A and B are shown apart, each in its own frame.
Chain A
Amino acid sequence: MIDTMRTNPTAPLLRAFREAPWRTQTQAVAVVSISLLVIAIIGGFYLTVASRAATAGRDLQRLEVQKTQLVQSNGELLAELAALRSVTRLAARAQALGYVAAQPEQIDYLRVAEYPWTAQTSAPPRAVTPPTAAPNALAQVANWLAQVLQGLVLGGPGQGG
């Protein structure tokens, strides 16, 4: 022991330092603190992710409700539109405006090339189809009519010039 002290005079001091009670407790506190810090960081991450997931979930709930309301509203508008277009209402309105049902002798027939003669006897058309680009006779007549109506509404080509 004496020899050792002679060879390394600082050893007892180091040993005393290492074994000092306050140092041992500091290490324990540090370990616990670091552990708590790690747990806190993980918890923080978890809370962030959970918060984002919950926010997204809430958005999803809100969007689902919105979707349901829109579908419902769409259905109501569709029903309203159909009621406005119903044959009962249109017939009553036409009658109120003084129109009467056409009789065969009141109709003049014209020859129109490519006219769809079998409109009633062929397979029914699609419900809502965009107008095709095929320049058949019916489309030409429809285009001409649309142009005339547009002209009437706008007051002719000179308007606005």
Chain B
Amino acid sequence: MLETVFVRLRLVLIAFAAVTGLVIVQLLRVDFGSQNVTYFRALSDEISQLSRDFEPARGHIYDRTGELMATNGVQYELGISPPYVVNREDVVNTLSDLLDMSAPAINAAIDSPDRYVLLQRPVSAAVGAKLKDLADSESVNLGGVDLTPFPLRTYPGGQVGAQVLGFVAYNSAGAQVGYFGVEGFYNDLLAGRSVHGIEQMVPFDVQLEPDPDQGADLYLTIDRDIQFLVENTLNSAMAEYGAEGGSIIVMNPRSGEILGMASWPNFDPNNYVTSPPTNPANPGVSGQYEPGSTFKVLTMAAALDAGIITPQTPFMDSGSVEVGGIIINNWNGGAWGPVDMQRCMQYSLNVCLASIATWLGPTNFYNYMLAFGIGHQTNVDLAAETPGHLKLPGDSDWFDSDLGTNSFGQGVAVSPLQLIAAVSAIANGGVMMQPHVLARVTDSGADHVTQQQVLGRPIRPETAATLTQMLVASLEGGEGSQALVPGYSIAGKTGTAQIPTPGGYDETETIASFIGWGPADDPQFIVLVKLDKPSSSIWGSETAAPVFSQLVQRLVVLMEIPPDNVRQALQAGN
């Protein structure tokens, strides 16, 4: 009896051992010996691991006072995993209500043999939130509906500062990329660095997700209040003067900080598909034009600095002068008789400035223009800057007559930023500062402040002071008097530039502009106003100059600049 029990026990043991052996053999076969080992391992990895890039959050963009100008919101990708759909009716009814999709299309997605079917991308945050709420409330069964969040670049101010900021879109690889403006120029800084890693799905193997290098936060020199003022002023000017386009830039001549910059038409960085940027996206930096009489400031600066004239140097204006075989006339075709250099600027006499350029000679004249940065990029930290165009003696397209026409801003192309940077040298005692929009970078908790850089010293401080006084005097009672701001000393110059056409110059339309700075004895801002093809008047003195005045009257309030008498009294008391 006892022996029979032992025999049975032995048989059970042998059976267990055999089963165990079979299991071990099978495990070894799967692990090492099976032809399917690759397949099984791949299948295991596919189920348990997800190889992907861990993307960092894109850095924020702030204005100079710390107000947020660009941040990250969320949007969703909505898809269906057909095998996991539990209640077809709930899914179809809910999605067809919330999305702009028909029930048959959703049914077709559910019937698909694929494991995942993309229904819509992007889906707004609001719709995503509604779907989540419905799923959480369990009033409907949305099993099989996949809602995957992904970042959405958001600009809280809407169009305010759009051309400076640029926008962000997804490239073909599915990565966020900045285009134009700060987003484009500082894309690498803002984007951070993604990390490639493996996300483990099996809880036993889960590890902490890798931490990618977050994008840096940028603090701009832009003041959003000034930016808003600039854009509002420009929009009003467009309507008031019937212009087709325009640009306004406000800069601090002492530091090169751009405080506000706008062009019209603008675009909406939140909806760049329906409201796309113009070409170029930021005409203030990327667009070029013939500046006309505002360029005379540079010619006069060169001549004063070279010592060939003084403000009192007499000039007999006969109404025309021949330079390089062409006859140059004044803007109104008239002759002003005996004048001095002060009057030349006050009446904006082409004949006078062309004569001055010939006195300077081409070498001197163009050396000064190059020193002012004409024909070269300012290297501002904004995407797609144009270098403008300055023909030089020796170039195949340069003729002797260009010396005369260039002196009053014809036959030379500049960007608005290039011109304001050049003229800022006169406002800033002969020192031209590097224009820039980045004030500070915060990266991984460390601050990096942008160092202000000198772009050049094209003229001596004495020349700058003399010319400033000339321009202050020429505005008062001159053709640019509408640019004056009560209580503040303003130096500036109007410009009315003809528009080049393939056969010469447009006879009817102009680019009206004004460039000025103040307070003249303590300059804290320099402003360029440019209006393209104003229809109410072709003259800069009647369009751009009053726009300048209107803008500066608000600008001094925002910048807390008291009227000259108050400021001087306060400074004297200190």
Q: Which A residues form the contact surface with B (CB < 8 A)?
A: 21-22, 25, 29, 32, 50, 53-58, 60-61, 64, 71-72, 75-76, 78-79, 81-83, 85-88, 91, 101-105, 107, 109, 111, 117, 119-121, 123-128
Contact = CB atoms under 8 A, between A and B. Distances in A.
Given A109-B566, A124-B221, A104 B252 contact: no
B198 to A, nearest CB: 14
A85 B67 CA distance: 8
A105 B566 CA distance: 12
B573 A111 contact: yes
Given A64-B209, A75-B57, A21 B6 contact: yes
B558 to A, nearest CB: 8
30 contacts: A22-B2, A29-B9, A57-B200, A57-B204, A58-B203, A64-B209, A75-B71, A75-B151, A78-B71, A78-B72, A82-B67, A82-B68, A85-B67, A86-B160, A87-B225, A87-B227, A91-B228, A104-B487, A104-B488, A104-B563, A105-B486, A107-B557, A109-B562, A119-B560, A120-B524, A120-B559, A124-B439, A125-B64, A125-B66, A126-B447
Contacts of B252: 120-121
Contacts of A128: 66
Given A121-B524, A124-B65, A127-B219, A86 B553 contact: no
A87 B60 CA distance: 17
A88 B228 contact: yes
B73 interface: yes
A37 B503 CA distance: 102
A88 B266 CA distance: 15
A61 B557 contact: no
Given A21-B6, A82-B68, A87-B228, 6 more contacts: A21-B3, A25-B6, A75-B151, A78-B71, A121-B252, A127-B66
Per DSSP, chain B at the interface is mixed
Given A21-B6, A124-B221, A54 B73 contact: no
A88 B154 contact: no
Given A71-B57, A75-B72, A119-B560, A88 B554 contact: no
B565 to A, nearest CB: 10
Contacts of B559: 120
A76 B125 contact: yes
Interface in B31-88: 57, 62, 64-68, 71-74
A86 B158 contact: yes
A40 B443 CA distance: 54
Given A120-B223, A121-B254, A124-B439, A83 B156 contact: yes
Contacts of A103: 553-554, 557
Nearest to B60: A78
A17 to B, nearest CB: 15
Nearest to B205: A57
Contacts of B524: 120-121
Nearest to B149: A72
A60 B223 contact: no
Given A111-B573, A120-B259, A126-B66, A57 B202 contact: yes
Contact of A78 (B9, B68, B254): B68
B203 A61 contact: yes
Given A54-B203, A127-B219, A86 B6 contact: no
Contacts of A75: 57, 71-74, 151
A87 B160 contact: yes
Interface in B424-460: 439-440, 447, 449
B273 interface: no
Interface string B246-265: 00000010110101000000
B439 A123 contact: yes
A87 B157 contact: yes
Contacts of A76: 73-74, 125
B566 to A, nearest CB: 5
Contacts of B11: none
Nearest to A112: B570
B140 interface: no
A155 to B, nearest CB: 34
A62 B115 CA distance: 24
B557 A111 contact: no
Given A87-B224, A87-B228, A124 B219 contact: yes
B73 A79 contact: yes
Nearest to B2: A22
B13 interface: yes
Contacts of B72: 75, 78-79
Contact of A60 (B154, B206, B255): B206
B239 interface: no
* Most B C-beta atoms less than 10 A away, residue of A55, A88, A104, A117: A104
B62 A127 contact: yes
A78 B57 CA distance: 13
Nearest to B523: A121
Contact of B156 (A22, A82, A120): A82
Contacts of B156: 79, 82-83, 85-86
B487 A120 contact: no
Interface string B1-42: 011001001100100000000000000000000000000000
Q: Which 7 A/B pairs are nearest by Cβ-Cβ distance?
A: A127-B66, A57-B203, A82-B156, A124-B64, A57-B206, A82-B68, A58-B203
B571 to A, nearest CB: 9
A50 B204 contact: yes
* Most B C-beta atoms less than 10 A away, residue of A61, A82, A117: A82
A70 to B, nearest CB: 12
Contacts of B220: 124
